[in-house]
Amino acid sequence: MRYPRSRAWALVLAASPLLVAAEAAASGPAHACIDAHAAGQIERDAGRLRSAQEQFMSCTAEACPAMIRRECVALGESVAAMMPSVVLVAQDTEGGAFEGARATIDGARIIPLLDGRPLELDPGEHRFELGLPDGRRQTLTATLRPAEKYRRIVARFPAVPPPLPPPRATSSGRNPLAYVFGGVGVVALGAWGVYALDGRHKQNALEQCAPHCQAEDVHAMRKAYLIADVLLGVSLVSLGAGTYLFLNHTEEPTTRGDTSTVWLGARGRF
């Protein structure tokens, strides 16, 4: 059947808006919704549930066709039911939780603060690094099953020792070593006087018998003088040290508390 040329042009002009609308639908929001619907199912089947949930969420927008929206809502709910979740906990050996703990999941996802809320993850094996504000860390691994909810991943650290009290200065006073050295010096000085007088007495006796004195008498005199010299040296050194410590006393702060403890990191596997 042949149409007049004018009628044919009229049919073309009438069909043009429909073609333009169909092309716009194919490349506009509706097409993006369809792509998200399909991509979400691919991600779900591959076990990438978090990515699938994002796709299904995007195709529930108002710009999507009603049928696509309904299907994406249903698919998103099914993925949420399959999604595993974990609760990361950092606590001491007695079960007390540490404040300010943080974590890194699989070396990429950072959790700045562990607050007890569940974290959704894809099924499979994951690596958790939990850290405390004081720098201590633990690395744990766990394999999550589909639909496994609120799996507790617990890192246990030794309890931190109580803080040490502030340094407390010793009571004001002289260094006790000053009195020790002083006493030694006085005693040595007194002994020096005794041996020096004994040596002088022996020397006077030898002067009376010289040059026919006995050898043992000469040896006894020299021995007395030698001991006197040693005692004089000990006395001078002790009195000097005692005087120095007596004149240069200081208050040295002393800190009381337990010795520091080095905590060892640990690795665990669930």
The pLDDT averaged over each successive group of 10 residues in the chain (270 residues) is 49 42 55 91 93 93 91 94 95 89 95 94 96 94 95 90 67 69 78 79 77 77 81 80 73 44 42
Q: Cβ-count burial of 173 within 10 angstroms (0-12 exposed, 13-18 middle, 19+ buried)?
A: exposed
pLDDT attached to residue 263: 39
- Sequence-ordered strand ranges (E) for the chain: 85-92, 102-105, 109-111, 119-120, 124-131, 137-144, 151-157, 168-169, 253-254, 266-269
Looking at CATH, the fold of the domain delimited by 85-157 is given as Immunoglobulin-like (2.60.40)
Q: Which residues have a Cβ under 8 Å from the Cβ of 218 and sit 6 or more positions away?
A: 206
Q: How much is the pTM? A: 0.49
Q: 195 and 224 in contact (C-beta within 8 Å)? A: yes
Q: Where are the domains of the chain?
A: 23-82, 85-157, 172-249
pLDDT at 166: 74
